[in-house]
Chains A and B, each alone.
Chain A
Amino acid sequence: MKNRLKIERAILNITQEELAGRIGVSRQTINSIETNRFVPSTVLALKLSMLFGKSVNDFFELDDDEK
């Protein structure tokens, strides 16, 4: 799964630490999502969606082999 978390975070001009604090996870979790090492749960994805004010589909996308 690909994501645009880093870009969305840059748009909001916040650090990984700040984003992590806002959705109640660790900085390492945000870093792992950004580097595609960890796929978050629906709950976490929806929290991010609320924070960015965008649909989950706008910043998470399935890889070609996952479609």
Chain B
Amino acid sequence: MEKKLKQDEEIQKIEKITGYQLPNKFKIIGLVLFVISFISIASISFYLEKMKYNDFLVRLAETGMILGLLIISISKEKIEDELIAKIRMQSYNYAVIGTVLIYLIMPFINLAVVASFSSMPKMDGSKDVAVLGVLLTIQIFTFRKLKRAYNEK
């Protein structure tokens, strides 16, 4: 009984995170944040190129841009039902697999392109490997944890 309760707690804990959604109006807020941040990146790079805090400002705008997309992603639809939940899950699945494949292949394509122009081609994208590793590790561990929790008698 105690074990069952523990497994239920595990499921609820993960559902608390995966089920968390912002109200629908946040889609507009996310979009505005994304557009402002996107314009800011271009403006900072163009007008404030030689400023001391250029890197910091660009990073700040990039963070805003990604936060904007995240807000759009976790905001509810006007009517949130089980079809929307299924579509959302499918789109996350597609996004994860697509991102992993693109970021694994892109450095090799870049290298091939650069190699045709340069005699000392350099492989980039080493930081991507860590991000992809974290992404997939979290997915695998969460999957295993949930599978165990749901199967517990």
Contacts and interface: CB of A to CB of B under 8 A. Distances in A.
Interface of A: 20, 24-26, 28-29, 32, 38, 40-41, 43-44
Interface string B64-98: 00000000000001110111101000000000000
Interface of B: 77-79, 81-84, 86
A41 B79 CA distance: 17
A6 B96 CA distance: 36
Contacts of A32: 83
Nearest to A44: B82
A26 B84 contact: yes
A38 B82 CA distance: 10
Given A26-B78, A29-B81, 11 more contacts: A25-B79, A25-B81, A25-B82, A25-B83, A26-B77, A26-B79, A26-B81, A28-B83, A32-B83, A38-B83, A40-B82
